[in-house]
């Protein structure tokens, strides 16, 4: 599927991996609906539309999807899919240093944002995606992409809730692709490893050096453009379906740094 003259939804599109994905899709000639809590004022133009969205609010998500579908009809750039980049990184041990158990509120919040938010947005997009005109010899209609994490496979100490949400997304990709196969809609997940982020920027030099020693090649953190390149490849390569692609530079992180 070619991104040009298609409309894609990118949740969490105002910053980080989502922002890089938005820019890559715009460069490819797509229109992009950005769903986020804060608007990035640098994203301007006729092919970008912002929807203020709390990903945990069903009302917000429904309004954003319906608004995007209407926008796509107006512009003629038919719906192409959704890239789910909205997410949070939580950190808490099951028992803290004072003997207190993991906060249930924190667990529920991680599930609400990373897992339920992704599922809800995807299911609502599907309602429209299955009805767009099929494209090409394969009769493809669109794609759904999950942002998972290497924590789905080797979560570190303190990542119980986070790893659980990302592991669930990995597990959901294949059965969802099977659900949607008869409609010509593909589903894939991307599992980034150690990527440059606001969190890595705050690391001490000791922690940063310890983490870098564990990396394979390239010996550096991944960058957001490499994530967006993978999104673009998934959109354009029709035979990539039901897969989770690890984007890790050959690294497998230890349980504790």
Taking Cα atoms as reference points, which of 135, 183, 128, 144 lies closest to residue 4? 135
Whether the CB-CB separation of 257 and 202 falls below 8 Å is answered with no
First to last CA, the chain: 41
Q: How many helices (H) and strands (E) does the chain have?
A: 9, 7
The Cα–Cα gap between 114 and 88 comes to 7
Whether the CB-CB separation of 152 and 97 falls below 8 Å is answered with no
The Cα–Cα gap between 188 and 9 comes to 15
The Cα–Cα gap between 250 and 257 comes to 18
Classify residue 203 by its DSSP letter: S
Taking Cα atoms as reference points, which of 16, 56, 21, 14 lies closest to residue 35? 14
What residues are labeled active site?
162
In this structure, the chain runs to a length of 257
Whether the CB-CB separation of 153 and 191 falls below 8 Å is answered with yes
Q: What are phi and psi of 137, to 5 degrees?
A: -65, -30
Q: What are phi and psi of 165, to 5 degrees?
A: -70, -40
Taking Cα atoms as reference points, which of 252, 248, 84 lies closest to residue 168? 84
């Amino acid at each position: 599927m070619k991104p040009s003259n298609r409309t894609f939804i990118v949740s969490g599109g105002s910053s980080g991996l989502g922002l890089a994905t938005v820019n890559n899709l715009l460069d490819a000639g797509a229109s992009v609906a950005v769903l986020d809590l804060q608007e990035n004022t640098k994203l301007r133009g006729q092919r970008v539309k912002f929807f203020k969205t709390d990903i945990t609010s069903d009302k917000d998500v429904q309004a954003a999807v319906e608004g995007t579908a209407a926008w796509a009809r107006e512009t003629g750039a038919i719906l192409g899919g959704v890239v789910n980049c909205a997410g949070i990184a939580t950190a808490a041990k099951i028992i803290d240093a004072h003997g207190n158990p993991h906060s249930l509120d924190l667990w529920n919040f991680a599930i609400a944002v990373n897992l339920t938010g992704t599922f809800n947005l995807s299911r609502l997009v599907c309602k429209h995606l299955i009805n767009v005109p099929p494209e090409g010899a394969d009769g493809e209609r669109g794609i759904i992409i999950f942002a998972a994490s290497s924590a789905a496979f080797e979560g570190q100490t303190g990542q119980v809730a986070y790893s659980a949400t990302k592991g669930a997304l990995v597990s959901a990709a294949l059965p969802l692709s099977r659900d949607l196969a008869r409609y010509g809609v593909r589903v894939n997940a991307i599992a980034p490893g150690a990527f440059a982020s606001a969190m890595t920027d705050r690391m001490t030099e000791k922690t940063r050096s310890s983490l870098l020693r564990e990396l394979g090649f390239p010996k550096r953190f991944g960058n957001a453009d490499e994530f967006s390149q993978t999104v673009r490849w998934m959109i354009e390569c029709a035979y990539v379906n039901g897969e989770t692609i690890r984007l890790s530079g050959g690294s497998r992180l230890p349980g504790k740094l």
